Amino acid sequence: MTVLHLCVGLPGAGKTTLARRLEAQCSALRLSTDDWMHPLFGAGESENKRDVLEHELLWSIARRVLTLGTDVVLDYGLWSRQERDLYRARAAELGVNVILYFLDPSLEELWRRLEVRNAEPGYPFKVTREELELWNTWFERPTPEEQALFHQPD
């Protein structure tokens, strides 16, 4: 059965690494907001554009690919339960399974990884320690009860 894969976690959690692995293993289409943001909008603040990109443009591509019978991997972050519920409902409307992959390294490990990423030349989305700490307070971690609502990977 066709599967929508959701990669959930803060920056530096390993979502893109996992998404790329799933893309190869499942012959899936990987959609990552970060891959589109910089080419379309530059490196400046564009949070409202990110929402439109994720919830409308990229979803329209994902929806079409899923209806054609190909798996899709969303490498978005999906920090809120409301977002995760939205994609679970959208998958149900299409009659496809949805699997949630929750990546939750410690804040110290996230920061260690982000320091390495921030030092990479040409990486357009630098993250400060203060931003990471703030985002950590916003992140609604999936509870075991929520995780039980999703299909489990084979």
Instruction: Give the 3-state secondary structure of residue 46.
Output: coil
In a domain, 152, yes or no: no
Q: What pLDDT score was predicted for residue 38?
A: 62
In a domain, 57, yes or no: yes
Compute the average pLDDT of residues 58-85.
95
In a domain, 106, yes or no: yes
31, 101, 82, 85 alpha-carbon torsion, rounded to 10°: 90
Residue 142 has pLDDT above 90, yes or no: yes
**Domain assignment of residue 114, given as a range:** 3-147
pTM of the model: 0.89
CATH number for the domain harbouring residue 112 = 3.40.50.300
Based on the structure, what is the number of domains in the chain?
Answer: 1
Q: What pLDDT score was predicted for residue 42?
A: 64
- 8 A C-beta contact, residue 150 and residue 96: no
In a domain, 46, yes or no: yes
- Mapped to the 3 state alphabet, what secondary structure does 83-127 carry? HHHHHHHHHHHHCCEEEEEECCCCHHHHHHHHHHHHHCCCCCCCC
In a domain, 153, yes or no: no
